[in-house]
Structure 1
């Protein structure tokens, strides 16, 4: 059963929260981050992507980058941009995008729950990305970006959070530059804290929705600190990591689409003939990008034309939680056998485009430097949970969650 814990947050002052709050470090490159912060000295990107305050071209893994992150973080604290809470608390965090709200609980999750698979995963991590975040946590001595967790909804938790929101004034309330609303409430009432701990102790599993690398890195740091402190009790801060936990029925997953650089030596005619073995291929009847309307249906953009692909029954295995998701169907029956994309995690011929960028981006990429694009129906949260429960791993870039949690609103000090 899940263990959660309140903590003494380091957080922005309310009047600076909207300026500090930043998108996660891994959704933009360094050049884009520099542009985002050029008029904002308070942005948390100065901590999460500290290379923006060094000479352009610096290696992202240079020790100077991590040292700069710590320097900027400590400066934010010294100048009062970030303040330390004297008392342990939970926080309620609501995001509203296009009128759709989702409300989560900001807390600490347990390293042991991660190791014992109470916190369940659905992705492999890359060693280089994991090493980067390990170093970031070690040098700053903070968890700076929360892990996005979800759980099967529990009415008693939902009602408890709703009641608290109605009866208390938000700590933060702002609309970010992308139009997403952010509200947060602090829970300092010890009775409410205890009730929430008890409620989550009856939750069988937590699932990583987003943040596999950050979670793995936080756990590796925790394990290292345990070895350095053989007399640890389990109550030390390094035994836990920062998370925001949302009920699964409030989450929205967007499509995560693919573009491929070439047809693996095939002509257009040969390629389509190969695709037709496992998919029906029909020219799209409407102009413009094709957005799949149901599971097992795909859009394909090739030579300035959109097609509708529908998986034939013999390649659909709905009884298998992994083989029934569309990104797996596409990988196993087209990308790998026809286009030669054996490992999409490492193959340089494939790229991934999150649904937030729109399907027009697929056309732009094909016209610029790619050959063919595929639009997908979004993965269902129920499938993510089923795959995690089965101990299986999704193909890379299977889910794109929106809205993104902001970094910098809540920090966890490992001391």
Structure 2
């Protein structure tokens, strides 16, 4: 490992003039949502992050690789026309306000060689979740073509969160340089400073990857020395449910229910509609009916015993014969909820929905301290840092 500072200022970057903030590329249940956002707001960072979902690319049938040049041209034009302002050697305090709830963080540059994925690998940044290789390939291609990072990795500071929060509040006494409101009504505000204390507090202890496992691995594969991150405090985030929508399957509902029982899952039809289940129980919604699934006990480490791991292993693996990266599975985060999932099934956009109890913060921390891997798409942290507010050049 190098001796470079683990958390540093962004040496060359850009700050939005407004209107560019967007959900990260992997927060959507359907690709058509991305196309709609870009159509309604061509300034959205999604037009660069997901160029093959821009309306013109969809019209012309372009895939991701064929759309990269358009992404590079769009970003270059935005940098030239004042959509983004050039800033050097800075960190960016970040505040998200959602009603009475306020979350704090800071945009900074984090050393890629600090990423640790197992107990015997030194490093300040703990990456805790398996990834989908195809997504990493796309992120790496985009980074290499753009030379700019638009979407931050969300890291939780585990040692000096209170000190970091206090310093961030002090840094936010002036007006923000940009303020952006998302579709849910949350306000995202950015300040620009060179305050060294923020870097000291942000890098004081282990940094757990809460969102951005694919982006952090992509930074490694692209050969970057640093990646763009928002470092937040433990009390600034919570974990919401992360569910699954099955678009198609090569079976029928009675067969699925029979196979579930054969694999040790308790199956009971419920008169109520789909809801967020308690720990140890999952909900299956299909053909207008709701089934409570009592999950079998599992051995192994903390990660292996999580409901998400059992669902992935037993329901999708043993019952349906699907791998976690099967294209027929849509991973649906906490911004959607049971009613949205039920509507997708009822209208024929999916054959079934599987609702899983949210991971507890204690279990999440335990998995990270043990340097185990979280099941893929098992933690939906809220609120999420927006892409396209602060950018970092990487060449």
Structure 1-normalised TM-score? 0.82
Structure-1 residue corresponding to 2:26: 26
Displacement after TM superposition at 1:140 (Å) = 1.3
- For 1:96, the equivalent position in structure 2 comes to 97
The equivalent of 1:73 in structure 2 is 75
Match of 2:338 among 353, 359, 363: 359
Give the C-alpha shift of residue 30 in structure 1.
5.4
Q: Deviation digits for residues 116-167 of structure 1, max 9, x if unmatched?
A: 44212122333332222222111211112111111325222222222322x3
CA separation of 1:201 and 1:61: change in aligned 2, threshold 3 A = closer
Instruction: Return the alpha-carbon distance in structure 2 between the equivalents of residues 344 and 183 of structure 1.
Output: 36
1:176 matches 2:165:
no
What's the offset of the Cα at 1:307?
A: 2.8
Could you tell me which residue of structure 1 aligns to residue 119 of structure 2? none
Aligned to 1:339: 320
Q: Which residue of 2 aligns with 1:382?
A: 362
Per the alignment, in what secondary structure is the counterpart of residue 306 of structure 1? Answer: strand
Q: 1:10 deviation in Å? A: 0.7
Superposition map of 1:44-123 within 5 A: 44-51=45-52, 52=54, 54-55=56-57, 56-63=59-66, 65-85=67-87, 87-114=88-115, 116-123=122-129
Consecutive unaligned residues in structure 1, runs of 5 or more: 223-237
Confirm or deny: 8 A CA contact 1:263 1:339 kept in the other structure: yes
Deviation per CA, 1:214-259, whole angstroms, max 9, x where unpaired? 212222223xxxxxxxxxxxxxxx4211100112332122211124
Cα deviation code 1:2-30 (max 9, x no counterpart): 811112431122xxx1x111222233465
Deviations 1:59-88 (A, max 9, x none): 32334x222222111111211121111x42
Structure 2 SS opposite 1:25: coil
Residue 4 of structure 1 is matched in structure 2 by: 7
Looking at structure 1, the residues matched to 280 and 229 of structure 2 have their Cα atoms a distance apart, in angstroms, of: 33
Work out the number of aligned pairs and report it.
Answer: 381
Relative to structure 1, the CA distance from residue 67 to residue 99 in structure 2 (aligned partners, 3 Å threshold; closer, same or farther) is same
Question: CA 1:244/1:309 → structure 2, altered by over 3 Å: closer, same or farther?
Answer: same
Q: Does 2:147 correspond to 1:136?
A: no
Q: Say if 1:382 and 1:336 are closer, same or farther in 2 by CA, change over 3 A.
A: same
- Kindly tell me: are residues 151 and 382 of structure 1, through their superposed partners in 2, closer, same or farther at Cα, counting changes over 3 Å? farther
Shift of 1:364: 2.8
Say which of 183, 192, 197 aligns to 1:186.
192
Q: Contact between 1:325 and 1:379, CA under 8 Å: does it hold in 2?
A: yes
Q: How does 1:191-230 map to 2 (within 5 A)?
A: 192-193=195-196, 195-203=197-205, 205-222=206-223
Say yes or no: does 1:411 pair with 2:387.
no
* Separation (CA, whole Å) in 2 of partners of 1:295 and 1:263: 26
Deviation at 1:274, TM superposition (A): 4.1
Instruction: Quickly say closer, same or farther: Cα 1:150–1:37, change in 2 above 3 A.
Output: same
SS in 2 for 1:323: helix
In the alignment, is the contact (CA less than 8 A) between 2:295 and 2:307 conserved in 1?
A: no
1:290 is aligned, of 270, 275, 281, to 275
Unmatched tracts of structure 2, length 5 or more: 117-121
CA displacement at 1:405 relative to structure 2 = 2.0
- Evaluate the alpha carbon distance shift between residue 160 and residue 67 of structure 1 in structure 2; reply closer, same or farther with a 3 A threshold: same
SS at match of 1:170: coil
Which of structures 1 and 2 has the bigger CA Rg? 1
Cα contact 1:264–1:340 (8 A) shared by 2: no
Distance 1:12 1:215 in 2: 22
